[in-house]
Amino acid sequence: MMAKRISSGGRYFHRRRRRPALLMGILLALAVVLALAAVVLLPLYPVGEDTRSASSALPVSSAPAESSTPAEPSAPAVSSEASEAPDTSASVSSEDALAEDKSPEVETQLASASVPYDYTKPVPESEPVEDSYFDTAVFVGNSRTQGFVLYSGLANLQSYTDRGLTVATAETKPLIDLGDGNQLTVQQALEKGSYQSVYMMFGINELGWSYPDVFIQKYGELVDTVRQSHPDAAVYLQSILPVSQQVADTHDYINNQLIQSFNERIQQLAADRQVYYLDVASAVADETGALPADASADGIHLKKPGCQQWLAYLKTHVAPALSEDVSQQDSSVMVSSETPAAESGAASQDPA
């Protein structure tokens, strides 16, 4: 009996010694698995890096970075923002479009937009405009302007003119019929429509006035009236054209020295009112400053070639900035039917 117990006890003891070995094997196997897992996962999750910082940066990628090296957004976040961003390719500003356009007209516009216009100087030379530009213009003046209307070749030209017209009678003398049978002064006729450009020429008939300052005062009042009735229009004051040397030598008060003096006053008036001054006289004068003898039948009124020279000057001397929102008036304006002196050769108390 004793032998059996020992034997059975020996078997029991042997079985109890085998269990720790089995546990050790299992633990060793687990250790191997964990080691393999560490080898595989360690490159994906470096030790010591806080992976939460990268993921937390994704929703606030548009916020200002607080660190010197902000986290680069992941590809999905970038594509998501790109898909939600509005398409701005079709909304390029007009300034950018002008900057890309290198044409002379656009370069002139950009230059004029950045540099204030100098109204003390005559309008500089510009790219020529088409005849249609003058479809929205009105010409105001005496019989010299009548000759321009007749000989310039402009088909749709509107004008308020009269032989002997002055800055005074432009405000007081009813002579323009707009088609309704009513006689209006030049000033009233100007108030009836909208124009892109207003070209005025006065002075040849005022050379005999005793007080040149009165001429400038009345001219300024007429300019103010036009500016009030046509605030978006470009107002041009044209210089007085010269006369021939024969007229200057024989006439009582008309001479080119006095004309030059009046032109200086008109140029100063344009600067004071900030309207455009056109040195039209330089386009038709000879090297002495007088009107060539063959340019006129009477030494005052231009023949057709001279009027076309006048037009060529106007087409290449346009204000650098014009309003785009000016409506065109009906072109059915009655022009004075009185024949210009250049055509008839007749003389009058008022030379033009």
Domain ranges of the chain: 104-339
Spell out the residues 6+ positions from residue 89 whose beta carbon is closer than 8 angstroms to its own: none
Give the model's pLDDT for residue 46: 53
Give the class (CATH, top level) of 104-339.
alpha beta
Q: For residues 259 and 261, what is the distance between their CA atoms, to the nearest angstrom?
A: 5
Q: For residue 27, what pLDDT band results from cuts at 50, 70 and 90?
A: confident
Q: What is the 3-state secondary structure (H, E, C) of 277-324?
A: EECCHHHHCCCCCCECHHHECCCCCECHHHHHHHHHHHHCCCCCCCCC
Q: For residues 246 and 291, what is the distance between their CA atoms, to the nearest angstrom?
A: 10
Give the model's pLDDT for residue 17: 56
pLDDT tens-digit series, residues 246-256: 999 999 999 99
Considering the chain, what is the average pLDDT of its residues?
Answer: 77
CB 245 within 8 A of CB 289: no
Mean pLDDT along residues 155-171: 94
Mean pLDDT along residues 232-245: 96
SS3 110: helix
pLDDT tens-digit series, residues 86-109: 454 444 455 555 556 556 555 655
pLDDT over threshold 60, residue 321: yes
Give the model's pLDDT for residue 97: 56
The answer to whether the predicted template modeling score (pTM) of the entire model surpasses 0.95 is no
Q: For residue 181, what pLDDT band results from cuts at 50, 70 and 90?
A: confident
Sheet holding 276-278: strands in order across?
Answer: 158-161, 137-141, 197-201, 234-238, 276-278
Q: For residues 43 and 9, what is the distance between their CA atoms, to the nearest angstrom?
A: 54
Mean pLDDT along residues 302-313: 97
Give the model's pLDDT for residue 63: 41
The β-bridge partners of 158 are: 138
The pLDDT > 70 percentage for the chain reads 64
Give the model's pLDDT for residue 329: 37
- Residue keyed to tokens 């540099």: 115
Most confident of 16-20, 55-59, 307-311: 307-311
Q: For residue 242, what pLDDT band results from cuts at 50, 70 and 90?
A: very high
